[in-house]
Structure 1
């Protein structure tokens, strides 16, 4: 499915639905969207945001011939505790077979991601076309970064969205890409530009690619994406080919 998410080309949802585990989930866009269609017969979201396996979608990427950046489970979390390991195996099997795509797997359940990857890739790294990421919304969730760093991934990224509080110092060792954004939608919590600058500057110092997605419901007085008189386009951003090469 095509998407308006700026850092990917398409979404693939072999699972839909989820449950909340931290403050970043409080105003989940996927839940808000899905629940609009609960009970609508024949709709993909007839079950609302209840966790639902979608085995009929498992092989969809194999039929997409042109290479794409694919965000996996934009409407769920692949490492939800109620998703069986053998089903996750099937998702990873498709990603491994569809080597011409780049898959972006993002989770808040970082310890389960780490443990699964260590079981599946005991003596090697996860294939380079599968990027693994964790969501981090505040400093209390920085342990997710450590879990990701401990996983046998080739490319690792952080989604700092929605950013709800300053992160402080972040260990960016073996992190390749950081996405930052504010919360959008009804009741969006504000984003302080100082928090964004802090992450941006750490990425610049560490040579880590930085992508600023959106202010969300907050708009700085400077307008646009400009901070400190500099345009965000001046800062390093993700380039798929670059990171495939970096993982060689």
Structure 2
């Protein structure tokens, strides 16, 4: 089971992968400025209790954290310590967030972090080779118990070979959604899978994107079918233990 927790909303675009951000698209429908970072009404969700005294999020859930912002966005620096504390208190939940600001993570970690909280997984997003070369060395230098590399939106062929190994729990790849989506080529996805298989790192193809290229042909795939079509490809990789 899983639940979404967005303690703050809004972000600033910082790289090519942000160009057609889905949060900006959704906010535009409501004439909302996505650049304004605000603390949300859901901020304290992980520790809220029902009238019966039970946590509203039951133990064992995976909590997708800050998916309408970036957990490390600078405007949220004043709220992050309290968010970490909720993660620490709810060690019976699995928190997962992704970030393009991985270079800020080490300086933002809580004092008792050590090698990482066992219940927190961090994903570093890389959309092209430039982002991979910049972010992944910092990602691997940061103390974490669980880390994944998220190649999304995948905008070109990427070589992850220098950074694949036991410290990486998984690589996930997906194309870009939306009317203005840039193409994602299946050959790029297969190249990532091959790199992961060679290194013994699990791989997941989670989304085709809206414009998907296979063997030179462009396919336009509706949003509701993008995850299913990726699963249908049957290329996810799990190494034998």
Q: How many residues align?
A: 217
Q: Is the 8 A contact 2:148 2:169 kept in 1?
A: yes
For 1:226 and 1:128, how far apart are their aligned partners in 2? 29
For 2:43 and 2:69, how far apart are their aligned partners in 1? 14
For 1:149 and 1:206, how far apart are their aligned partners in 2? 16
Deviations 1:70-113 (A, max 9, x none): 111110011112222x4111111111111111111211011101
| Aligned partner (choices 57, 61, 65) of residue 64 of structure 1 | 57
For 2:195 and 2:209, how far apart are their aligned partners in 1? 22
For 2:74 and 2:35, how far apart are their aligned partners in 1? 16
Q: Is the 8 A contact 2:205 2:231 kept in 1?
A: no
Match of 2:37 in 1: 51
Give RMSD over aligned pairs.
2.4
Gaps of 5+ in 1: 1-7, 39-45, 243-248
After TM superposition, give the deviation of residue 226 of structure 1 in Å.
Answer: 8.0
| Aligned partner (choices 130, 137, 143) of residue 120 of structure 2 | 130
| Aligned partner (choices 83, 87, 91) of residue 99 of structure 1 | 91
In the superposition, the TM-score normalised over structure 2's length comes to 0.82
SS of 1:168's partner is coil
| Aligned partner (choices 146, 149, 152) of residue 158 of structure 1 | 149
Q: Is the 8 A contact 2:3 2:64 kept in 1?
A: yes
Match of 1:232 in 2: 235
Q: Given the superposition, is the C-alpha separation of residues 115 and 65 from structure 1 closer, same or farther in structure 2, using an over 3 Å criterion? A: same
After TM superposition, give the deviation of residue 209 of structure 1 in Å.
Answer: 1.5
SS of 1:67's partner is coil
Q: Is the 8 A contact 1:67 1:102 kept in 2?
A: yes
SS of 1:132's partner is strand
In the superposition, the TM-score normalised over structure 1's length comes to 0.79
Match of 2:14 in 1: 21
SS of 2:179's partner is coil
For 1:226 and 1:30, how far apart are their aligned partners in 2? 24
Deviations 1:7-66 (A, max 9, x none): x8221100100010001000000111122123xxxxxxx655521122x42321233114
| Aligned partner (choices 108, 114, 117) of residue 116 of structure 1 | 108
Q: Which moved further from structure 2: 56-65 or 29-38?
A: 56-65
By percentage of residues, which structure has more strand?
Answer: 2
Q: Is the 8 A contact 1:179 1:212 kept in 2?
A: yes
Q: Is the 8 A contact 1:58 1:94 kept in 2?
A: no
Match of 1:203 in 2: 196
For 2:177 and 2:102, how far apart are their aligned partners in 1? 24
Q: Which moved further from structure 2: 23-32 or 160-169?
A: 160-169
Q: Given the superposition, is the C-alpha separation of residues 13 and 169 from structure 1 closer, same or farther in structure 2, using an over 3 Å criterion? A: closer
Gaps of 5+ in 2: 48-55, 220-228
